[in-house]
Structure 1
Amino acid sequence: MARYFDVHPQDPQPRAIAQAVRIVLDGGLIAYPTDSCYALGAQLGNKDALDRIRSIRKLDDKHHFTLVCKDFAQLGQFVNIGNDVFRSIKSVTPGSYTFILPATKEVPRRLLHPKKKTVGVRIPDNRVVQALLAELGEPLLSSTLLLPDEEDPLTQGWEIKERLDHQVDAVIDAGDCGAEPTTVVDFSSGVADVVRRGTGDPSRFE
């Protein structure tokens, strides 16, 4: 059974955050809220958790996983980003956008797009996520909590606990955080290409 943490969306309880991070560091898989919708999260190098995410969501090897980062200093360790692209991303960050960029050698090969050698990165505008990342001290490997054959992500922590009780190790419930995933912008060529329209305003990149 998954641990269940009911936290305040604006002022999450430090003890609950610390316990959830301990589960991540011990190899666990968590469901957590973001500024767009709930997501699945694990430690960056955790192959078992990665396989569990693939299994839960029935993903193929071309799926772009996301590194959820605390700030640009952290993000810059994992992707190569030029000045023009940096300025474009900075103008909407933190926010509900995922950016696909060329990965550095710090990113485990299993997380890369098999041909492009790219990875998704984002800096969410969400206090629960920021508290998790501050406690964790590294990016969180992440994927939208969208189940197979369903059009929309799950929106309530209690529902996630009910549906995934034996598939995740913890659920962090901060109430309804929406059902629309991030807007995804591919910058791998150096030019913005909106590949998914979501919560973030895509018009800035079109």
Structure 2
Amino acid sequence: MAEFIRIYEENPNPKEIKRVVDVLKKGGLIIYPTDTVYGLGCDITNTKALEKIARIKGVKLENSNFSFVCRDLSNLSDYVKQIDTSTFKILKRALPGPYTFILPGAKTLPSVFKKKKTVGIRIPNNQIALEIVKELGNPIISSSIRDEDDVIEYTTDPELILEKWDNLVDLVIDGGYGDNVASTIIDLSENTPTVIREGKGSLEIF
């Protein structure tokens, strides 16, 4: 049975954030709110947890397209190759925000991702998500939780999410109703920004 805790985005309770981080540090899986849809996440440094998420999503870990959820752009060089000024300006303008940016992967990626040429970087404009990553001290790996329903692609009600995911994850955060539109994905790994998926983020800033 998953823990179910309420955290308010306006002022996340540090005690509750610490509870979430303790679960992550022990290799647990969490479902947490972002500025788009709810995400399934784990500690990027915990291989067993990463394998669990890959199993749930039905993918091979080394071929997975999980996002790296970061707190800000300061540790980007740990996961991304040197980027040029114009790319950095785009990131700075758009983040935090509802975008996933595909960037060339660095040689210093965690060993399970060593073969990846690119990585998806996400800095959501959501205080709960950002505080979790800040307290943890490194990114979390994240994947949107999709719905099997043909009409509703993403479940937005945390209680319904808990019902569905109760036996698969260790903790579900109730951060209020989520959005049902996923992030906009922009590929910045080549010279020209390319839209891979149009989602919540506006394309006008590009």
**Aligned residue in 1 for 2:86:** 84
Identity of aligned residues (%): 37
Work out the CA distance in 2 between the residues paired with 1:188 and 1:174: 33
- Aligned match for 1:100, one of 99, 102, 107: 102
Within 5 Å, which residues of 2 pair with 1:29-178?
A: 29-59=29-59, 62-80=63-81, 81-111=83-113, 117-147=117-147, 152-178=153-179
**Aligned residue in 2 for 1:188:** 189
Work out the CA distance in 2 between the residues paired with 1:203 and 1:56: 35
Work out the CA distance in 1 between the residues paired with 2:108 and 2:171: 27
**Aligned residue in 2 for 1:13:** 13
Structure 1 counterpart of 2:4, one-letter code? Y
| Cα deviation digits, residues 33-55 of structure 1 (max 9, x gap) | 00011001101122222232223
Structure 2 counterpart of 1:97, one-letter code? Y
Shift of 1:155: 1.1
Equivalent pair of 1:56/1:147 in contact (CA under 8 Å): no
| Cα deviation digits, residues 88-110 of structure 1 (max 9, x gap) | 12111110000011111232243
> Could you list the runs of 5+ residues in structure 2 that have no partner in the other structure?
none
After TM superposition, the score normalised by the length of structure 1 is 0.91
Equivalent pair of 1:36/1:178 in contact (CA under 8 Å): yes
| Cα deviation digits, residues 124-146 of structure 1 (max 9, x gap) | 11110111112111111111111
Equivalent pair of 2:37/2:181 in contact (CA under 8 Å): yes
**Aligned residue in 1 for 2:26:** 26
Residues 204, 109 of structure 1: CA spacing in aligned structure 2 closer, same or farther, 3 A cutoff?
Answer: farther
Work out the CA distance in 1 between the residues paired with 2:154 and 2:58: 14
> Could you list the runs of 5+ residues in structure 1 that have no partner in the other structure?
none
Work out the CA distance in 1 between the residues paired with 2:183 and 2:27: 26
After TM superposition, the score normalised by the length of structure 2 is 0.91
Work out the CA distance in 2 between the residues paired with 1:153 and 1:49: 23
* Matched positions, count: 203
**CA RMSD of superposed structures (Å):** 1.8
Structure 1 counterpart of 2:171, one-letter code? A
